[in-house]
Amino acid sequence: MPKQPKYKHYIWELPVRINHWTNVFAIVVLGVTGFFIGSPYSFGGSASDFTMGWLRFIHFVAAYLFAVSVVSRVIWSLIGNKYASWREFFPFATSNGRKKMVKMLRYYMFLDRKVPETFGHNPMATTAYIMLFGLYTLMILTGFALYAQHAPGGLMYRSLGFMYAIFSSQGLRLTHHLGLWLIGGFIINHVYSAVLMDIKEHDGEISSIFSGYKYRIKKPE
Ligand code: HEM
Ligand code: HEM
């Protein structure tokens, strides 16, 4: 019989939780509409059917929501609690963080049977999140660079001039499209890991991203 956790602690503040679910919503909308933009479909079968136009419009509205949400999370990483801090996302930069990563990696590789107890973020998860944030940045930059092409010479177009210097138009599109599948791969792994840790750690992992609370066996520092 595994030990039952005794301590309840507030980990994810409301802005972190709202941010998480806003991003999930925006990414699902962007992923579905983006998929159709990449593989257009004639819904009504007639030349006057505007469904693809609406899908593009929804993609752009969700894109602005997503960009604001990502920037808000970066700001919150400077002013939120220690679990939300930007420092959490670089566990590999400190020796303590590296030790925690090795322990978690050993568990993932079936070298250790006992799951290391983590309270805030899992250090392997934050390493994946920092790569995900890099991917978010790439999606926002390539997306707005594609978007700005409707008004060459405009402020957005000129601000993103460096993107056109790095990518061709087709390169922007291909990179933006590839991001859809990379984010899709992350989601499969992320939901699997969240369910696994919820079962193994008995810490209320899944409910924590709704309620903000996690449970643990040892008294929190
Ligand atoms: C998670 C984020 C996002 C995903 C998964 C996503 C996905 C996609 C996909 C798969 C395409 C089709 C690419 C192709 O094969 O031609 C696309 C097109 C596009 N996306 Fe995104 N996108 C995201 C974020 C954004 C953002 C932040 C913007 C910023 C405005 C944006 C603007 C555009 C534009 C302008 C197009 C081309 C539309 C067209 O040519 O009709 N996207 N997106
Ligand atoms: C588009 C889909 C999703 C993406 C991109 C995503 C991304 C993320 C990110 C970036 C974090 C870190 C939160 C932060 O510090 O800001 C996080 C945390 C978390 N997510 Fe998701 N998530 C997605 C869907 C889900 C779903 C469907 C679930 C539930 C089944 C879930 C459960 C969790 C949990 C439990 C945490 C906190 C645990 C931890 O980070 O150690 N996520 N997610």
Ligand with the closest atom to the CA of 21: 2
Ligand with the closest atom to the CA of 76: 2
CA distances from 10 to 31, 106, 121, 204, 211 (A): 32, 28, 13, 12, 9
Is the CB of residue 214 below 6 angstroms from any atom belonging to ligand 1? no
Instruction: Record the pTM.
Output: 0.92
pLDDT of 2 strictly over 60: no
pLDDT tens-place string over residues 68-123:
999 999 999 999 999 999 999 999 999 999 999 999 999 989 999 888 877 778 89
Using left for φ > 0, alpha for ψ between -120 and 50, and beta otherwise, residue 204 falls in left
| Spatial CB neighbours of 151, under 8 Å, sequence gap ≥ 6 | 157
Is the CB of residue 30 below 6 angstroms from any atom belonging to ligand 2? no
Structural domain boundaries in the chain: 7-216
Using left for φ > 0, alpha for ψ between -120 and 50, and beta otherwise, residue 212 falls in left
Q: Whose CA is nearest to atom 10 of ligand 1?
A: 34
Q: Whose CA is nearest to atom 15 of ligand 2?
A: 84
For residues 203 and 64, is the Cβ–Cβ distance under 8 A? no
Amino acid at 99: K
Is the CB of residue 130 below 6 angstroms from any atom belonging to ligand 1? no
pLDDT tens-place string over residues 15-33:
999 999 999 999 999 999 9
Can you list the alpha helix ranges (DSSP code H) found in the chain?
Answer: 14-38, 51-79, 95-108, 123-147, 155-159, 161-166, 169-201, 205-211
Is the CB of residue 119 below 6 angstroms from any atom belonging to ligand 1? no
Both tokens assigned to 103: 């322990």
A 10 A CB-CB count for 166 gives 12
pLDDT at residue number 106: 94
Both tokens assigned to 66: 């997503």
pLDDT of 48 strictly over 90: no
pLDDT tens-place string over residues 109-165:
999 988 887 777 889 999 999 999 999 999 999 999 999 999 999 999 999 999 999
> Which overall architecture, per CATH, does domain 7-216 show?
Up-down Bundle (1.20)
For residues 214 and 205, is the Cβ–Cβ distance under 8 A? yes
Ligand 1 center to 187 CA (angstroms):
18
Alpha carbon distance, N-terminus to C-terminus of the chain: 26
pLDDT band of 220, cuts 50, 70, 90: low
Minimum-distance ligand 1 atom for the alpha carbon of 139: 24
